[in-house]
Amino acid sequence: MTIFNLPDLGEGLPDAEIHEWFVKEGDTVVVDQPLVSMETAKAVVDVPCPQGGTITKLFGKPGDVIKTGDPLVEFTSVAKPAADKGTVVGNLEESTEQMDDHFTVGVQQTSSRRIRTTPTVKLLAKKLGVDLEKISGSGSLGMIPREDVEKFAQQTTQVPAGFEPLRGVRRAMLQSMVQSHAEVVPVSIFDEADISQWAPGTDITVRLIRALCEASKKEPALNAWFDTKHGARQCFEAVHLGLAMDHEEGLFVPVIHDAGNLSDMEIRQNINNFKHEVANRAIAPEKLKGATITLSNFGKFAGRFASPIIVPPMVAILAVGRLYKGPVATSQGQLEVHPILPLSLSFDHRAVTGGEATRFLGTVIEALQRP
């Protein structure tokens, strides 16, 4: 028998969620046949079968999270496994697991009591983070079989009553927010742009992207990545803009690559395409990668100002609040009612100075207030 472990589906991701199985136990499969679709990094990726054979075991069901490198499928091979070529297929390992444990007595020197189990079960317990001291073996003379370990692991990881575990896109968002909270030193500044000089029908999102690209040229420190481990930053000349989009299943952030070199029509076409693909959960994984700065237009729902969250390795995000009409003093000292666009900029103070951030936001405002 051979075991196919979950490969790295991109950018060193630690795990992935089973979205849908295309096979079942007992099926005969061929090389490159779709095996399973896995959801990770807010995208659904189909994993092909690495070799021909008969499926004998599926390690998980839809909704289960599998760690990269852990078993995904076990099958009896009818063809020699292909050597790993570094593709999405990953590695196949020979299984040394015995379905029926032949128990032997083992002694754990650091334990306060004798742990009666097999070396195989000890390895399983270590992998699942299970303390064998807390298990009363159901086997003869207190022996602990693998079923006891698996049952204990399942009980200790069960969601409390009344709670629903986050899955798919929301789980990816959870991981991003936890990483941001652990790593980033965020500061937010707020201001407003008077857009009374705009012509009727102006595309607000396109104007915002244009202003953000202009500001990134003046202050490239905000169009950058920060490496926490090495305390180093990388500033980019091209603006790869992450555009936050709301969906009932969670938040998606597709990327408009090299936005500064696109025409207004091309930017709008990208936005429209992203809206369609996100709505239909058909957006390709590569379109969700590589952002160097983010734009969030939360104001289409409600709210004027916010403290938007920075997702590492990026160091800045600009958020736009709800457009409103407010009083403005003219140069003659008179009051007029103008359309006002609220702006909120969050930046990572480890990589960006206050001066850089304020100059960036000032350039955005200046660009937006032009006719």
Backbone angles phi, psi at 21, to 5 degrees: -85, 140
Q: Residue 142: which residues within 8 A CB-CB, separation 6 or more?
A: 116, 136
Q: Please check whether residue 274 is in contact with residue 287, taking contact to mean a CB–CB distance below 8 angstroms.
A: yes
Check residue 87 and give its pLDDT: 46
Q: How far is CA 54 from the centre of its chain?
A: 33
Domains of the chain: 2-94 (2.40.50.100), 98-162 (4.10.320.10), 168-368 (3.30.559.10)
Query: How high is the pLDDT of residue 12?
Result: 67
Rg of the Cα atoms in the chain: 27
Rounded Cα distance, 93 and 91, in Å: 6
Confirm if 357 and 345 have CB atoms less than 8 A apart: yes
What b-and-e string marks burial along 116-131, b requiring 16 or more CB atoms within 10 Å of the CB?
A: bbbeebbebbeeeebe
pLDDT of 92: 54
Identify the pLDDT of residue 105: 42
For tokens 């699942």, name the residue.
128
DSSP element (H, E) containing 214: helix 204-218
Whether the link from the prior residue into 71 is cis, omega within 30° of 0, is no
pLDDT tens column, 129-163: 888 888 888 887 788 888 888 888 877 667 778 88
Q: Which own/partner contact pairs does 24-31 have at CB distance under 8 Å and 24+ positions apart?
A: 24/55, 24/58, 25/55, 25/56, 25/57, 25/58, 26/54, 26/55, 26/56, 27/54, 27/55, 28/52, 28/53, 28/54, 28/55, 28/78, 29/53, 29/54, 29/55, 29/75, 31/79, 31/82
- Give pLDDT tens digits for 282-302: 898 889 999 999 999 998 889
* Cα angle, residue 310 at apex, residues 307 and 311 outer, rounded to 5°: 150
* Residue 63 structure tokens: 């909704």
Report residues of the chain scoring pLDDT below 70: 10-12, 41-42, 77-113, 156-157
